[in-house]
């Protein structure tokens, strides 16, 4: 029962926030808890009520494992405030793995779309729905119009979108300009873990590059998943912990791309 | 040897020339030299009959096909819509005639009597309630839908009319001609029930709209869909019911019925919402030369309590406001199997540990949830992918390197094994093999990529050497 009340309360809060700031709701942000990262982001944390673009590196562009894990961790605190929707093209997301990361799989609605256009319109629909706090969409590409539409959908209820860019298996590389409507763009790669006793695997680590950030600065860090994090525990800590900063230039050659104006 | 070609069906003109069904084609040709024959197509006939059954739905929701060339309409409680049984029959007659089909009609209390009168009696007979015995009496015994053997024997013994059968005592009749004969007689007279296999399950939740002029404009189609839904929903509301599945059928002028369907996640009867769900599907309906009637059905009907208007006004959104319409929209657009919530299944076989539960089925928590401590990947491949050039130092040790999708991975760290066997209790004991045992390892390569791989089978078995597979990826 408490779950239901909590949900209602969260939806109520979201609604009030939307009423207070007519049109564009300022639904705040989600701080990482590490000043090094938060200072780069506008408002001191991951902006909510916007959408974020997340991409992978190398093979991960197709398998999308590390980006998905990072997204699940970043979105886990949001799932506490309402329902989460995961829109995918391939249904290879495995709920026991989500549970292992501390993401509440029983609050997740999975949707399998037929193509990119379908996935984007489903995402838009879900973002504008009462009671949905975050939507994660796996699509290949978001063009300017679709990105703008996603942004408008986010603003209607203050829901947060995560667009996980994932290429279909065997698809050709597509490197076109995308997503200038996104609030941030992240590039995620997995990083070797550092277990305490040098025997087994440690907590998953990610090499995170904030490639673009509206109203903020870019940066690169190594983050580690908090083992003890559980979305139910009500702890304020973010499920991702900063381990080490990475020099900006260090990662730049890995992605030889022409610079675009932010 | 080529099979003998025989006549499959004969029209009235042919019958007048002395042709009969089952006659050899060569004999028929000799009898009528200018005979025109066409190949029999039983499948096409069956398809046409089932289309006719669908078409007849405009007269009654309960229509059953009978054999290869007949159909039953249960017109109980619908004839008043036409102003009486005679008017209904007249309407059916005009419409069938317009289609150019030869037919015979009869109305009676029982399917058996109606069949007998339509096949052997006068076309268009309407038996008065309880009066079928008098109409059946002069008909031959074959009118009772008996086996050919029983008919032949009755003929031999001099039974020429059903009346003679009704007169003799039941016990000897049953003994001599079989219980089937007795049952058919009783069914015709209404002393024994008869179950018809209706094309659609009979349901009282039907609404119908007929038009004076056929419609075809898209906006008209959308409006009549909304109207017929509203009519059905009013009916549901007065009985305190809601339904999970709704179907709207458009009766086209050319006799086709085009159905469209939507499903709801929770039973409902909100006509406005239904019309919205139907709207994109109505656009796909081709009205052809026009649609002259629309029907709506509700299935999976169950009691629904009315929802009171919220005292807080629009401030407190309930699941009915957001989530349920969203799920309905998505499920009707993408398909019901494409929207789900992952639910645990008590199985340690990874492929079977997750089932797709309906999104709004939240109360059920019978299976123990997944163990958050167990190392489980975020991406699980539907089929494990084979690994090449796997090098492990000793058996029962994780590999030092492997090749997957054309790339070498050097394993830096590993943990395991976690042995997962097959569910030997749920399959044939003969199929159980040690080669199905899997030892799972979680490994990390030089770049930090984390993989879930397993070795199927054990070392030491020369017939089935162990193989390595990649089953999933951790983030």
Ordered structural domains, chain B, with CATH = 65-189 (no CATH), 206-303 (3.30.1490.100), 379-474 (no CATH)
Residue of B314, B328, B342 to mutate, testing the A interface (most A Cβ within 10 Å of its Cβ): B342
Length of chain B: 475
Q: What is the pTM of this model?
A: 0.69
The DSSP letter of residue A239 is S
Query: How high is the pLDDT of residue B80?
Result: 81
Burial of A28 (0-12, 13-18, 19+ CB in 10 A): middle
Is the CB of A254 inside 8 Å of chain B's CB atoms? Answer: no
The predicted model gives B311-317 an average pLDDT of 47
- Among B36-40, B251-255, B460-464, the minimum mean pLDDT is found in B460-464
Residue of A nearest to B361 (CA): A106
Q: Which residues of A touch B380 (CB under 8 A)?
A: 92, 94, 97
Whether the pLDDT of residue B355 is over 50: the answer is yes
In B218-353, beta strands by DSSP E = 241-252, 257-268, 291-303, 339-344
Classify B231 as helix, strand or coil.
helix
The predicted model gives A101-105 an average pLDDT of 85
Q: Which of B326, B344, B444 sits opposite A201 (nearest CB)?
A: B444
Which positions 249-308 of B are in contact with A (Cβ < 8 Å)?
A: none
Burial of B339 (0-12, 13-18, 19+ CB in 10 A): buried
CA nearest to B258, candidates B267, B248, B266, B244: B248
Q: Which of A15, A66, A106 sits opposite B317 (nearest CB)?
A: A15
CA B457 to chain centre: 43
Is the CB of A68 inside 8 Å of chain B's CB atoms? Answer: yes
**Spans of all domains in chain A:** 24-169+178-250
How many residue pairs from chains A and B have C-beta atoms closer than 8 A?
178
Whether the pLDDT of residue A261 is over 50: the answer is no
Q: Which residues contact A60 (CB under 8 A, 6 or more apart)?
A: A66, A67, A188, A189, A190
Residue B253 token pair: 């002028």
Query: How high is the pLDDT of residue A175?
Result: 59
The predicted model gives A77-86 an average pLDDT of 87
Task: Chain A: give the shortest CA distance to residue B357, in Å.
Answer: 10
Per-residue pLDDT tens over the stretch B246-255: 999 998 888 7
Q: pLDDT-based confidence at A62, cuts 50/70/90?
A: confident
- Among B23-32, B63-72, B92-101, B361-370, the minimum mean pLDDT is found in B361-370
Is the CB of A108 inside 8 Å of chain B's CB atoms? Answer: yes
Backbone phi, psi, residue A244, to 5°:
-155, 145
Q: What is the mean pLDDT of chain A?
A: 81
Q: Do B322 and A70 touch (CB under 8 A)?
A: no
Q: Do A93 and B379 touch (CB under 8 A)?
A: yes
Is the CB of B24 inside 8 Å of chain A's CB atoms? Answer: no
Q: Which residues contact A39 (CB under 8 A, 6 or more apart)?
A: A217
Whether the pLDDT of residue A1 is over 60: the answer is no
Query: How high is the pLDDT of residue B311?
Result: 46
Which positions 354-393 of B are in contact with A (Cβ < 8 Å)?
A: 354, 356, 359, 362, 369-382
Task: Chain A: give the shortest CA distance to residue B310, in Å.
Answer: 13
Q: Which residues of B touch A99 (CB under 8 A)?
A: 369-370, 372, 376
Task: Chain A: give the shortest CA distance to residue B230, in Å.
Answer: 25
CATH architecture of A24-169+178-250: 3-Layer(aba) Sandwich (3.40)
Per-residue pLDDT tens over the stretch B84-140: 888 888 888 888 888 777 888 999 888 888 888 888 888 888 888 888 888 888 888
The predicted model gives B150-164 an average pLDDT of 85
CA nearest to B370, candidates B342, B409, B412: B342
Query: How high is the pLDDT of residue B317?
Result: 52
Q: Which residues contact B308 (CB under 8 A, 6 or more apart)?
A: none
Radius of gyration in angstroms for the set of CA atoms belonging to chain A, rounded to a whole number: 17
Peptide bond into B417 cis (omega under 30): yes
Q: Which of B325, B377, B442 sits opposite A201 (nearest CB)?
A: B442
Answer left, alpha or beta for residue A41, where phi above 0 means left and psi between -120 and 50 means alpha: beta
Which positions 160-199 of A are in contact with B (Cβ < 8 Å)?
A: 189-193, 195, 199
Residue B463 token pair: 């017939």
Query: How high is the pLDDT of residue A136?
Result: 95
Query: Whole-angstrom distance between the N-terminal and C-terminal Cα of chain B?
Result: 70
Which positions 200-229 of A are in contact with B (Cβ < 8 Å)?
A: 200-202, 204-207
Q: Tell me the helices (H) and strands (E) count for chain A, helix number first.
A: 8, 11
CB-based contact B197:B64 (threshold 8 Å):
yes
Residue of B nearest to A66 (CA): B475
Q: State how far the alpha carbon of A254 is from the alpha carbons of A40, A153, A166, B264, in Å.
A: 22, 34, 18, 49
The predicted model gives B75-88 an average pLDDT of 84
Q: Do A201 and B380 touch (CB under 8 A)?
A: no
Whether the pLDDT of residue A112 is over 90: the answer is yes
CA nearest to B126, candidates B84, B71, B166, B98: B84
Query: How high is the pLDDT of residue B198?
Result: 79
Query: How high is the pLDDT of residue B280?
Result: 87
- Among A10-24, A65-79, B307-321, B411-425, the minimum mean pLDDT is found in B307-321
Is the CB of A66 inside 8 Å of chain B's CB atoms? Answer: yes
- CA-to-CA distance for B448 and A66, rounded, in angstroms? 10
- CA-to-CA distance for B105 and B91, rounded, in angstroms? 12
Query: How high is the pLDDT of residue B224?
Result: 92
Q: Which residues of A touch B315 (CB under 8 A)?
A: 12, 15
In B172-322, beta strands by DSSP E = 206-215, 241-252, 257-268, 291-303
Whether the pLDDT of residue A256 is over 50: the answer is no
Dihedral over Cα of B241, B247, B252, B257: its sign: negative
Is the CB of A135 inside 8 Å of chain B's CB atoms? Answer: no
Whether the pLDDT of residue A249 is over 50: the answer is no
ipTM of this predicted structure: 0.81
The predicted model gives A174-203 an average pLDDT of 78
The predicted model gives B418-434 an average pLDDT of 79
- Among A33-37, A246-250, B75-79, the minimum mean pLDDT is found in A246-250
Residue of A nearest to B360 (CA): A109
Whether the pLDDT of residue A262 is over 60: the answer is no
CB-based contact B249:B57 (threshold 8 Å):
yes
Query: How high is the pLDDT of residue A214?
Result: 84
Strand duo B339-344 + B354-357: pairing: antiparallel
Q: Do A112 and B334 touch (CB under 8 A)?
A: yes
The predicted model gives B224-233 an average pLDDT of 92
The predicted model gives A102-127 an average pLDDT of 89
Query: How high is the pLDDT of residue A255?
Result: 43
Q: Which residues pair with B354 in a beta bridge?
A: B344
Is the CB of B349 inside 8 Å of chain A's CB atoms? Answer: no
Query: Whole-angstrom distance between the N-terminal and C-terminal Cα of chain A?
Result: 46
- CA-to-CA distance for A127 and A95, rounded, in angstroms? 22
Question: Of A14-18, A195-199, A245-249, B322-326, which has the strongest mean pLDDT?
Answer: B322-326
Q: Which residues contact B159 (CB under 8 A, 6 or more apart)?
A: B141, B165
Per-residue pLDDT tens over the stretch A229-243: 665 655 557 888 888
Q: pLDDT-based confidence at B151, cuts 50/70/90?
A: confident
């Amino acid at each position: 029962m408490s779950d239901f009340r909590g949900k209602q309360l969260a939806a109520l809060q979201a609604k009030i926030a939307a009423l207070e700031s007519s049109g564009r709701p300022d639904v705040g942000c989600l701080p990482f808890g590490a000043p090094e990262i938060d200072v780069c982001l506008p408002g001191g944390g991951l902006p909510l009520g916007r959408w974020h673009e997340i991409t992978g590196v190398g093979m991960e562009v197709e398998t999308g494992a590390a980006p998905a894990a990072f997204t699940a961790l970043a979105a886990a605190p949001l799932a506490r405030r309402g329902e989460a929707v995961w829109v995918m093209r391939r249904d290879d997301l495995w709920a026991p793995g989500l549970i292992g990361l501390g993401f509440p799989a029983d609050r997740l609605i999975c949707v399998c779309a037929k193509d990119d256009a379908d996935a984007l319109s489903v995402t838009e629909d879900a973002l504008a729905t009462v009671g949905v706090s975050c939507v994660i969409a796996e699509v290949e590409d978001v063009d300017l119009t679709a990105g703008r539409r996603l942004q408008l959908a986010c603003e209607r209820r203050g829901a947060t979108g995560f667009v996980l860019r994932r290429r279909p298996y065997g698809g050709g590389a597509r490197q076109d300009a995308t997503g200038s409507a996104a609030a941030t763009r992240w590039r995620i790669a997995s990083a070797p873990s550092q277990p305490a006793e040098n025997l087994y695997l440690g907590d998953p680590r990610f090499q995170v590059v904030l490639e673009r950030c509206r109203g903020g600065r870019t940066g690169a860090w190594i983050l580690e998943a908090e083992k003890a994090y559980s979305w139910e525990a009500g702890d304020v800590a973010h499920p991702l912990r900063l381990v080490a900063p990475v020099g900006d230039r260090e990662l730049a050659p890995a992605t030889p791309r022409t610079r675009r104006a932010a | 040897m080529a099979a003998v070609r025989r006549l499959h069906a004969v029209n009235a003109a042919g019958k007048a020339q002395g042709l009969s069904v089952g006659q050899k084609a060569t004999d028929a040709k000799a009898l009528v030299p200018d005979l025109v024959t066409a190949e029999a197509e039983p499948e096409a006939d069956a398809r046409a009959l089932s289309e006719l059954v669908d078409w007849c739905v405009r007269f009654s929701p309960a229509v059953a096909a009978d054999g290869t060339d007949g159909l039953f309409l249960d017109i109980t409680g619908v004839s008043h819509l036409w102003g009486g049984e005679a008017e209904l029959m007249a309407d059916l007659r005009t419409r069938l005639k317009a289609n150019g089909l030869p037919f015979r009609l009869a109305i009676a209390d029982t399917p058996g009597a109606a069949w007998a009168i339509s096949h052997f009696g006068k076309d268009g007979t309407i038996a008065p309630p309880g009066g079928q015995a008098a109409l059946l009496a002069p008909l031959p015994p074959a009118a009772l839908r008996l086996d050919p053997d029983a008919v032949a024997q009755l003929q031999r013994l001099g039974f020429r009319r059903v009346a003679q059968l009704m007169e003799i005592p039941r016990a000897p009749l049953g003994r001599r001609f079989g219980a089937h004969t007795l049952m058919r007689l009783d069914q015709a007279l209404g002393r024994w029930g008869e179950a018809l296999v209706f094309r659609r399950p009979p349901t009282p939740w039907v609404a119908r709209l007929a038009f004076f002029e056929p419609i075809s404009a898209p906006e008209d189609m959308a409006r009549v869909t909304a109207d017929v839904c509203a009519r059905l929903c009013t009916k549901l509301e007065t009985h305190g019911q809601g339904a999970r599945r709704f179907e709207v059928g458009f009766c086209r002028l050319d006799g086709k019925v085009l159905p469209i369907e939507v499903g709801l996640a929770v039973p409902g009867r909100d006509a406005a919402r239904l019309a919205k769900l139907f709207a994109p599907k109505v656009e796909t309906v081709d009205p052809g030369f026009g649609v002259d009637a629309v029907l709506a059905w509700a299935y999976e009907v169950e009691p629904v309590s009315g929802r009171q208007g919220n005292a807080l006004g629009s401030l407190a959104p309930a699941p009915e406001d957001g989530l349920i319409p969203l799920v309905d929209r998505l499920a009707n657009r993408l398909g019901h199997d494409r929207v789900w919530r992952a639910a645990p299944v008590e199985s340690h076989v990874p492929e079977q540990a997750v089932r797709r539960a309906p999104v709004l089925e939240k109360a059920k928590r019978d299976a123990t949830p997944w163990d958050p401590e167990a190392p489980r990947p975020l991406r699980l491949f539907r089929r494990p992918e084979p690994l090449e050039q796997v090098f492990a130092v000793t058996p029962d040790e994780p590999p030092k390197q492997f090749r997957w999708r054309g790339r070498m991975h050097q394993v830096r760290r590993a943990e395991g094994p976690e042995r997962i066997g097959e569910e030997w209790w749920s399959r044939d004991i003969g199929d159980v093999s040690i080669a199905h045992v899997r030892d799972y390892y979680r490994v990390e390569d030089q770049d930090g990529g984390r993989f879930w791989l397993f070795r199927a089978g054990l070392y030491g078995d020369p017939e089935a050497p162990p193989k390595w597979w990649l089953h999933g990826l951790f983030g």
